[in-house]
Amino acid sequence: MKRTFAIGIGGAAGQGVATPGDIFAKIFSRRGLHLNAYNAYQSIIRGGHTFLTIRTGPEKVTNMGNRIDLLIPLNQDAIDRHLGLLSDGASCLYNADTIKPGSAAEGVQLCPLPVSKLADITRNKVAQNTLAVGAALSMTGIDFQALEEVLTEQFKKKGDAVVSENVGIAHAGYEYASANFKPFAWPLPMTENRYAVLSGNIAMAMGGAAAGVKFYCAYPMSPSTGVLHWMAAHARKAGIMVRQVEDEIGVVNMAIGAAHAGVRSMCATSGGGFALMSEGLGLSAMMETPVVVIDCQRAGPSTGVPTKTEQGDLWQILGAAFGDYPRVIACPLDIGDSFKIIAEIFNFADRFQCPGIVLSDLLLSEGRLSVDPKDLDFAPAIDRGDLITAPDANTNGGYKRYKITDSGISPRAIPGVAGYTHTAASDEHDEDGVLISDEFTNPTKRRAMMEKRMRKVEGIAAAVPPPELWGPRDADVTLIGWGSTKGVIEEACEILTDQGIVANQLQIRWLVPLHGEAIVDILKNARHTIIVENNYSGQFARYLRSETSFVPDGYIRKYDGEPFMPHHIVDAVQEQLGGKTKLSVPAHEVLV
């Protein structure tokens, strides 16, 4: 199994949990280590428990893992919640002035920091955080210089005095730990590699810029707001028009308007905002105007749990807008893939003149991952499809925007190009865009136009690649997932294989087109199949069954707002294969 090191930082919202995480992330990435970070927080500004996990190692780290090696509780609540989860070899760094640790498991090192003796807490209210970071770096065998460099960057805008104060506090923690606490048996190594650290929101925003997006708009809604923040911060440099709109109805229609004018246009929201966008997506389909919409899923329904993750929007996305129309729906597999998928879906949306929907979730949107800079060089050639941008003397005013073609794709002219006058509206229309006012007197035209649009479906299916099976073909169990569950299923497969249960993985990236025949062909010879997803009702399992009639041998579902950990999947697989379950559900269906 891969060797990793995980730090857990817990406290109340407002205690500065995120800042130590940012510092650790910079230090680890600069040592050439992979990392994965996830912050579990509540939707209140102050108070309420927050717990950030950052896991690192020389090999790729795909999820938050099963264990914490170093716990840094910033208040009593955090140590009460998490100390009992530590096992042999782990350590806990805490403020000895304010926290009473209680009893820990055998082999767990308790590391009390005399905060008031090491720092002037009347001047610096978050001194315990800085002391703990310094102590942690000492225990992991990392030179203090690495921390000094990051602290200087972190506080340089506040002036030299603040930098000097924080470096001094961190150094006091570093020295105290060196003298009083046992270092970890496995010092964190250093490699020659260098990685970028991105959230999924930043990756999608950067992917949009790389794909040639020139208009972005949104209404702030967690967990998608990070896309808007990046776009607004880089708008001038990237040459992107960015607008914050009054609501999601305005957002999607403004995005469609910009796309109709000829630029690549994108917007992002969460489940509640996407519900308001549904009618606009129908407009995009009827006008055959490509637009890309990102839905960052969170726990619902309604406001639900706004700061928790879930894969609960699938059926909403599949049913977005009414009527039949071609579309492309994709779900990124990890944060690096969040960058790549934007460029890909824009090419498909432009080529087939239809909406493109990216289905992310809070785990990806707000989590952070080390990404090889080479992966950010990925940029397929921009394909705008059959787009007319300049006049042609041969048209002679005979342009038909919705010309019936064998492929269903009609040449699309940017409004204002001489000789290419046409009407674009939400009503059904003829080839030249003239509205069909009464379907019953024009049934032939309606059928012809509907069939023209739907012929794109075959072209989309041929252009989008089918999924592939990862791992040995002759496995004891095949785990099927979609989107963000990829990394945790991957590690669960490794653990299961080490335990004598050979496992492989089928991860779905493209939801529409689904490539149902290819999926069934892969699964038909599998010994035991289990679908893993972050929702209550098994939305993907129902979708796969509705499209292919395929029913797996078992299910693993989680819907408490937190992501899967590898042991959740490993334990559930063992229960199902053993025919035993500790839960009050059928043996073929384990809810985590």
State residue 392's pLDDT score.
85
State residue 347's pLDDT score.
97
Alpha carbon 91 to chain centroid distance?
Answer: 31
What is the residue-averaged pLDDT of the chain?
94
Give per-residue pLDDT as tens, 1-39: 689 999 999 999 989 999 999 999 999 999 999 999 999
- For residues 226 and 200, give the distance between their C-alpha atoms in angstroms, rounded to a whole number: 9
State residue 590's pLDDT score.
59
Please classify residue 249 by burial: count the beta carbons closer than 10 Å to its beta carbon, then call 0-12 exposed, 13-18 middle and 19+ buried.
middle
Topology of domain 5-180 in CATH is: Pyruvate-ferredoxin Oxidoreductase; domain 3 (3.40.920)
| Residues paired with residue 269 on neighbouring β-strands, in sequence order | 295
State residue 505's pLDDT score.
98
Q: Let me know if the fold of 197-367 is the same as that of 469-591.
A: yes
**In terms of Cα–Cα distance, which of 102, 120, 123, 122 is closest to 112?**
102
Asked if 141 and 188 touch (Cβ cutoff 8 Å), the reply is yes
pLDDT tier for residue 587 given thresholds of 50, 70 and 90: very low
What is the pLDDT averaged over residues 337-355? 97
- For residues 46 and 547, give the distance between their C-alpha atoms in angstroms, rounded to a whole number: 46
Give per-residue pLDDT as tens, 126-144: 899 999 999 999 999 999 9
CA distances from 352 to 291, 374, 515 (A): 11, 29, 18
Give per-residue pLDDT as tens, 429-487: 999 999 987 656 678 999 999 999 999 999 999 999 999 999 999 999 999 999 999 99
- For residues 54 and 21, give the distance between their C-alpha atoms in angstroms, rounded to a whole number: 7
Please classify residue 257 by burial: count the beta carbons closer than 10 Å to its beta carbon, then call 0-12 exposed, 13-18 middle and 19+ buried.
middle
| Residues paired with residue 298 on neighbouring β-strands, in sequence order | none
pLDDT tier for residue 211 given thresholds of 50, 70 and 90: very high
Give per-residue pLDDT as tens, 219-260: 999 999 999 999 999 999 999 999 999 999 999 999 999 999
User: What is the domain partition of the chain in residue ranges?
Assistant: 5-180, 197-367, 386-460, 469-591
Please classify residue 36 by burial: count the beta carbons closer than 10 Å to its beta carbon, then call 0-12 exposed, 13-18 middle and 19+ buried.
buried
CATH superfamily placement of domain 197-367:
Thiamin diphosphate (ThDP)-binding fold, Pyr/PP domains (3.40.50.970)
CATH architecture of structural domain 469-591: 3-Layer(aba) Sandwich (3.40)
